[in-house]
C-alpha cells in the first residue's frame, strides 16, 4: 500500500455560504456519506498561504513575534502571508513576505513542505519554503500596519527552536512544521534534495 494523500471528492447535494469576510468565508456543504446519508459540513474557505523558514550562515532561523488575537498570545513565527491573488506564484508571494516583514532577501529557495493547517474545518493550504543566502533587501522598508506595527525580530539557532517546540514553548504551525521538517530533511538526504522552489502544488495551482 502506498502511503500518499490522493484527490477525492464525495457528492455534494447542496451548498451555501452563510458568512463572507474580508479574506475568508464559511461554507456549508451537504455531503453524501458512504452509507448514503447526507450530512452538513461547515468549513472555512481560505485562499492559501506561504511561509518562509529563512536560515542564515550561522544556522539561525529568522523569526518575528506578533500578536494573534484569536489565541490571545504573542507568537514567535516565521515570515508568512496570504496568497492574495488567485493563481499567484507561491515563490513570488514568499519572496514578497520575506521582504515586507523582515526587509530580507535570499539567494537560494527550496520547497520545505506543503501542509493543510486544519483539514477537518478549513481548506487552507500552506507551502513552507526554505530560504538561504540571506542579506538585507534593497530600498526602503515596507510600511507596516495593524498588528505588524508591533513586530519583534530574532535570529534563533535551529537546536534551540527544536527544544522550544518539544517543550511546548513555541506553537505557531508554520514554525513548528518548518523547523522539524528542516531537521528531518537534514537527516534524510540533505537540504539539496528538497524540491525545487517552483515545484508543482496541486492544492493551489499557479502560473510559472
- The residue extents of the domains of the chain are 12-45, 49-196
CB 51 within 8 A of CB 171: no
Q: How far apart are CA 130 and CA 178, in angstroms?
A: 8
Q: Is 14 exposed, middle or buried (0-12, 13-18, 19+ CB in 10 A)?
A: exposed
Question: Tell me, what's the pLDDT at 117?
Answer: 94
pLDDT in tens, 160-198: 999 999 999 999 999 999 999 999 999 998 999 999 999
Question: Tell me, what's the pLDDT at 104?
Answer: 96
Question: Tell me, what's the pLDDT at 144?
Answer: 63
Confidence of residue 85 (pLDDT cuts 50, 70, 90): confident
Give the domain 49-196 fold.
Answer: Nucleoside Triphosphate Pyrophosphohydrolase (3.90.79)
pTM: 0.92
Q: What element of type H or E holds 121?
A: none
pLDDT in tens, 109-168: 999 999 999 999 999 999 999 999 999 998 777 666 656 667 899 999 999 999 999 999
Question: Tell me, what's the pLDDT at 207?
Answer: 79
What is the grid cell recorded at 21? 469576510
Question: Tell me, what's the pLDDT at 33?
Answer: 97
pLDDT in tens, 19-73: 999 889 999 999 999 999 999 999 999 999 999 999 999 999 999 999 999 999 9
Q: How far apart are CA 39 and CA 167, in angstroms?
A: 39
Question: Tell me, what's the pLDDT at 84?
Answer: 84
Three-state SS at 151: coil
Main-chain dihedrals φ then ψ at residue 121, nearest 5 degrees:
-145, 5
Quick check: 14 pLDDT over 90? Answer: yes
**180 CB neighbour count, 10 Å cutoff:** 15
**119 CB neighbour count, 10 Å cutoff:** 12
Q: Is 76 exposed, middle or buried (0-12, 13-18, 19+ CB in 10 A)?
A: buried
Compute the average pLDDT of residues 75-80: 97
What is the grid cell recorded at 194? 528538497
Active site positions, annotated:
148
Amino acid at each position: 500500500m502506498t502511503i500518499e494523500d490522493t484527490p477525492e471528492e464525495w457528492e455534494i447535494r447542496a451548498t451555501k455560504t452563510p458568512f463572507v469576510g474580508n479574506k475568508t468565508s464559511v461554507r456549508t456543504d451537504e455531503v453524501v456519506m458512504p452509507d448514503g446519508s447526507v450530512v452538513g459540513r461547515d468549513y472555512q474557505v481560505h485562499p492559501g498561504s506561504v511561509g518562509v523558514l529563512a536560515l542564515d550562515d550561522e544556522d539561525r532561523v529568522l523569526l518575528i513575534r506578533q500578536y494573534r488575537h484569536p489565541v490571545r498570545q504573542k507568537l514567535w513565527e516565521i515570515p508568512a502571508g496570504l496568497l492574495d491573488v488567485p493563481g499567484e506564484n507561491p515563490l513570488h508571494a514568499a519572496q514578497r513576505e520575506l521582504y515586507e516583514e523582515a526587509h530580507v532577501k535570499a539567494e537560494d529557495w527550496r520547497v520545505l513542505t506543503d501542509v493543510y493547517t486544519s483539514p477537518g474545518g478549513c481548506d487552507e493550504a500552506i507551502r513552507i519554503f526554505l530560504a538561504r543566502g540571506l542579506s538585507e533587501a534593497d530600498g526602503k522598508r515596507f510600511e507596516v500596519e495593524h498588528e505588524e506595527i508591533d513586530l519583534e525580530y530574532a535570529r534563533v539557532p535551529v537546536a534551540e527552536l527544536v527544544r522550544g517546540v518539544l517543550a511546548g514553548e513555541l506553537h505557531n504551525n508554520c514554525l513548528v512544521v518548518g523547523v522539524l521538517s528542516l531537521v528531518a530533511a537534514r537527516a534524510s538526504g540533505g537540504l539539496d534534495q528538497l524540491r525545487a522552489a517552483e515545484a508543482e502544488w496541486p492544492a493551489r495551482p499557479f502560473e510559472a
